[in-house]
Structure 1
């Protein structure tokens, strides 16, 4: 006789399949110059410029599904001069790693004119997510949108849902900014400074509210660079979800949100509508190398109770240091700290210059360099060699994870800036984050024998920031076979190479029918000219032979090169000859020197001599001679 519990689960699964919906979307990515009303696209109101939209419209649409639903999104590359891709940020992609989106990691890039089908099931995830191009620079140029997974069993009461996106905006195109950024003329690696902050893809936005109403506000930082502070005049946020994870309620009046993070909050409005209030956002100025005079650090938006009343004035805070620390959030599920790690990955973050003069980002002295074959395709084609990290290249920072291992990522930040790190395919427990260390002190690294006490119920999310010159420890279970990127979500830093890749249960990937390349995927690879088999060097006959792989630039030499020695010798000789010339001419007798100087200064030498004699006579008679002894 079958167990009643098993029977119930079977019935529940059948109902879930019956009621699950398939969402089919066709979107063409292209540059959008005009809005539907004919006006020019002008996100910050100061500078019209094209943005990358879908089907001739920008901003991109908000996509809504429910857990268990199927997504079939046909992405057509309508741009004629560049490849593209799409990543559903925060989606686990169980059994569908090839739908994750990072080009040359899990898929071949989509060339102009071609269509890629993103086909996956949402599983049991719920909450606030977003989608964006995972091709360099494109989501900074507008290819970004909100992805909501609705939950019929949402654990908290509210009246109405609202979506809020935060990001920064540049007037220049990303490819031009990247060219200037990754340049020997930018040796410090100073990131491009935004022109403005955006609030729901605009500035000075208004939010019309009703009195005595509880709003569920989904806040998503879809930016590529700066973290933002967020606060309201005389209102509070009650946090109920972060990165798709429900949490116990926490109320605060000041949020700090890095790029790629999501906060879902409850906001209850006032009983009366006799005043409108300011809704403020502010850039984290510690992330900017310079602060231009024309950059508005505070964005003033408006909570409007009565549109006939004046809008609120800016509401500034005396201090923004007391923002809510997400480390103390507890998951509503009461998920306890996972058992001790089976495998610890320790990575040190730093920035430095290589031989071409460009400033790069490094994990363990390696800056991520793209393989010639997407890593997932190498795992699928490498056979028994798939468990050998060498297959995936020496410049990709690749780590093999065994099925169901408990993994710790210990990240030591040797850099003086904050970094928001995102893990694809998983959420992680944040079990320790050390405080920031000042620039004038040495960085502090994790010490396994001397660290803070870890929480019983750690905060869980998929994007978290590490403090300057400090460290953090993240823990998760390797229960999702696939290839997953772990990277800084400041896109400038990803462009610099701040990434590792985790090849999780490679034999499980090979043995899964749902992980095999779709025919559409194979066609895309063929069109763009990328092999579907082979190691990181494109070698499909000897997977341990990496001859010809892409490598990072050579390091700067520790001493003088022969060319430098020659340059130094000639510089020294030139300097010595210059000194000799000065000394030679300086010691020469020059005839009639007084007359020459007087002529150059246009002075009458005879008059000058007479004046000097008169002055000497006066000094002698009065006792004021310059030779008088005192």
Structure 2
């Protein structure tokens, strides 16, 4: 039976002409003890003394108001509404020291904005590596008139899970005892924050019953494979963008990605075979090692008949997980339902080169263009709003809001001067690992994504790739870029604000794989307060800054007199001498390639089941 809140939401959404409304929540952020994988009881971050946090459900046009009260006692917090554009409300984006200050213990802050996008999203903390400790849940936006038909819907969250809390894990990760930057390996994979779930399925020989399934990867690190035995998925949405229907046997979701797809229930005669497993399986090739006993699979069931057994999943050959496998959907090949054409030649070109380096203090950091991100002293939005004619003489003069230098040496800031400009973002992954990148405030067209080991994008040598791209490329806000490969992305800067672009592996976000877009800063100033700086920012937003002792005016170093004087900004550990960097990097590459080979062999070993007894860690597979 559906919970009453969900049932009322579904009923309201079916009423023709239902008007936009107000959806309001009071969230007390609290510690809770929980044991989601049945292996270890640990503190988790919940809402209103309950875990997992509740899914938020709204309709297009609704105003969402969330009152957040930080009752953790020992940690600050925030909420980011992942995938929502937050038009005219960049201060509601929740990114700490970017669009707001963190909410310290004992303080409160209200998020208040209108939602215009249908589809599948999620919310999570966006500071201090916090959300993997539990502060994350789906956010669904109902569309009264979607371009597909269905009878019922369900939501599935996928997550990797750690038995230890993030502060300790981060301290060990960013440590001279971990110079290669080996990420902590999770202990388990979860489905809806447990290890197995049942989804009731109806069958009827008189009519077709279709389910809309929303799936969100709310994990910290691992990509997830997902497949359903005996059923094909018809993908109809990715990251809030409707797609032309596309049949798929298997999906891959990076951290932060979302899909919606249709599953058609079998009729009476077909259901005689019983119930059907479905499987979420972590991408173990992302791990430096695969520890013994790792629970990297979780199984759920489509339950047609509760009287019949729940069969174990079948085994799947290891090559089914390879990019290019006919079982695995290529998300870059999807076509948007609205058929928006490829954006034209860019007005702004940004290139970001990804690499990982060991610093002089022996710690490993992540870099865009040899810059590892560090939070500014003043949240970047407040720097935009306090940099004006009194500092520079004009908006585009030295030290004005359009001068990228005022936002800090280590924030990797690109300024997009005017609304409507087309931005081309090229990301070259110089690392041997997969990286899922997420853009705040926008979705982007996937103009081209290379295979692994394609090298870097060359605008001359690779010029023919872009005209060959699809005329209507798919858009999404989170994308996997393959090892030693690249992606070419485009978006229209039609949403003035301060927006991050970052790797959604929480370990890499914490070590600096972040860039900042300051979009239409002069218009942004006018949007907030034409003549009074940050005075129109909500009082509670400024109050949490005061409670935390964070300044709300000035450049990245807090200088309110000379916006080009960055003395006092945060500075990363010094780099190793060039020869040392090459030596360490060479060792790291050799080590990681070796480990990748071991992982491939491990996959092959685990795909076999010679004694006919299903190993709980064996890779399940589609029959046939």
TM over 0.5: yes
Aligned-partner SS, 2:170: helix
- Which structure exhibits the higher relative contact order, with contacts defined as CA atoms closer than 8 Å and separated by 6 or more residues? 2
* Residue 497 of structure 1: how far off its partner (Å): 0.2
Q: Which residue of 2 aligns with 1:614?
A: none
Aligned-partner SS, 1:306: coil
Does the 8 Å CA contact 1:17/1:68 hold for their aligned counterparts? no
CA distance in 1: counterparts of 2:263 and 2:340, whole angstroms: 26
Q: Which residue of 1 aligns with 2:459?
A: 447
* Residue 559 of structure 1: how far off its partner (Å): 6.3
1:413 pairs with one of 423, 429, 433:
429
Q: How do 1:466-477 and structure 2 match up within 5 A?
A: 466-477=481-492
CA distance in 1: counterparts of 2:401 and 2:302, whole angstroms: 55
CA distance in 2: counterparts of 1:228 and 1:526, whole angstroms: 41
1:267 pairs with one of 257, 263, 267:
263
CA distance in 1: counterparts of 2:88 and 2:199, whole angstroms: 40
Does the 8 Å CA contact 1:280/1:315 hold for their aligned counterparts? no
Does the 8 Å CA contact 1:363/1:500 hold for their aligned counterparts? yes
Aligned-partner SS, 2:545: helix
Does the 8 Å CA contact 2:199/2:303 hold for their aligned counterparts? yes
Does the 8 Å CA contact 1:410/1:446 hold for their aligned counterparts? no
Alignment RMSD, CA only? Answer: 1.6
Distance 1:444 1:346, change over 3 A: closer
* Residue 450 of structure 1: how far off its partner (Å): 2.3
Say yes or no: does 1:50 pair with 2:66: no
Q: Which residue of 1 aligns with 2:542?
A: 522
* Residue 17 of structure 1: how far off its partner (Å): 12
* Residue 282 of structure 1: how far off its partner (Å): 1.1
Deviating above 6 A after TM superposition, structure 1's stretches of 4 or more consecutive aligned residues are: none
Say yes or no: does 1:277 pair with 2:261: no
Using the size of structure 2 for normalisation, the TM-score is 0.84
Q: Which residue of 2 aligns with 1:342?
A: 347
CA distance in 2: counterparts of 1:446 and 1:296, whole angstroms: 41
Say yes or no: does 1:379 pair with 2:384: yes
Aligned-partner SS, 1:50: strand
CA distance in 1: counterparts of 2:18 and 2:378, whole angstroms: 39
Q: Which residue of 2 aligns with 1:22?
A: 22
Does the 8 Å CA contact 1:423/1:486 hold for their aligned counterparts? yes
CA distance in 2: counterparts of 1:471 and 1:443, whole angstroms: 7
CA distance in 2: counterparts of 1:56 and 1:387, whole angstroms: 45
Does the 8 Å CA contact 1:446/1:471 hold for their aligned counterparts? no
CA deviation vs aligned residue, 1:193-234 (integer Å, no higher than 9, x gap) = 110000111002222211252100001001110001111111
Aligned-partner SS, 1:19: coil
CA distance in 2: counterparts of 1:24 and 1:233, whole angstroms: 39
* Residue 62 of structure 1: how far off its partner (Å): 1.1
Does the 8 Å CA contact 2:191/2:197 hold for their aligned counterparts? yes
Does the 8 Å CA contact 2:426/2:457 hold for their aligned counterparts? no
Q: Which residue of 2 aligns with 1:102?
A: 95
Say yes or no: does 1:370 pair with 2:363: no
* Residue 449 of structure 1: how far off its partner (Å): 4.3
CA distance in 2: counterparts of 1:347 and 1:138, whole angstroms: 26
Aligned-partner SS, 1:140: helix
Does the 8 Å CA contact 1:430/1:475 hold for their aligned counterparts? yes
Aligned-partner SS, 2:246: strand
Does the 8 Å CA contact 1:446/1:472 hold for their aligned counterparts? no
CA distance in 1: counterparts of 2:543 and 2:227, whole angstroms: 49
CA distance in 2: counterparts of 1:413 and 1:27, whole angstroms: 38
CA distance in 2: counterparts of 1:24 and 1:114, whole angstroms: 19
Q: How do 1:235-384 and structure 2 match up within 5 A?
A: 235-272=231-268, 273-274=271-272, 275-318=274-317, 319-321=320-322, 322=325, 323-383=328-388, 384=395
Q: Which residue of 2 aligns with 1:573?
A: none
2:173 pairs with one of 172, 181, 190:
181
Q: Which residue of 2 aligns with 1:431?
A: 447
Q: How do 1:493-572 and structure 2 match up within 5 A?
A: 493-513=508-528, 516-558=536-578
* Residue 444 of structure 1: how far off its partner (Å): 3.5
Aligned-partner SS, 2:285: helix
- Rg larger in structure: 1
Does the 8 Å CA contact 2:528/2:537 hold for their aligned counterparts? no
* Residue 299 of structure 1: how far off its partner (Å): 2.2
The worse-fitting range, judged by mean Cα deviation, of 271-280 and 101-110 is: 271-280
- Gap regions ≥5 residues in structure 1: 1-15, 34-40, 561-630
CA deviation vs aligned residue, 1:463-519 (integer Å, no higher than 9, x gap) = 011111010000001111000000000111001100000000110111013783111
Say yes or no: does 1:159 pair with 2:151: yes
Using the size of structure 1 for normalisation, the TM-score is 0.83
Aligned-partner SS, 2:544: helix
* Residue 448 of structure 1: how far off its partner (Å): 4.0
CA distance in 2: counterparts of 1:188 and 1:364, whole angstroms: 19
1:396 pairs with one of 411, 426, 449:
411
Q: How do 1:58-77 and structure 2 match up within 5 A?
A: 58-77=51-70
CA distance in 2: counterparts of 1:80 and 1:18, whole angstroms: 41
CA distance in 2: counterparts of 1:447 and 1:286, whole angstroms: 31
* Residue 146 of structure 1: how far off its partner (Å): 1.1
CA distance in 1: counterparts of 2:333 and 2:577, whole angstroms: 45
Q: Which residue of 1 aligns with 2:192?
A: 200
Q: Kindly tell me the number of residue pairs found equivalent between the two proteins.
A: 533
CA deviation vs aligned residue, 1:540-567 (integer Å, no higher than 9, x gap) = 111110011111111112469xxxxxxx
Does the 8 Å CA contact 1:399/1:503 hold for their aligned counterparts? yes
2:84 pairs with one of 88, 91, 101:
91
CA distance in 1: counterparts of 2:543 and 2:312, whole angstroms: 56
Q: Which residue of 1 aligns with 2:13?
A: none
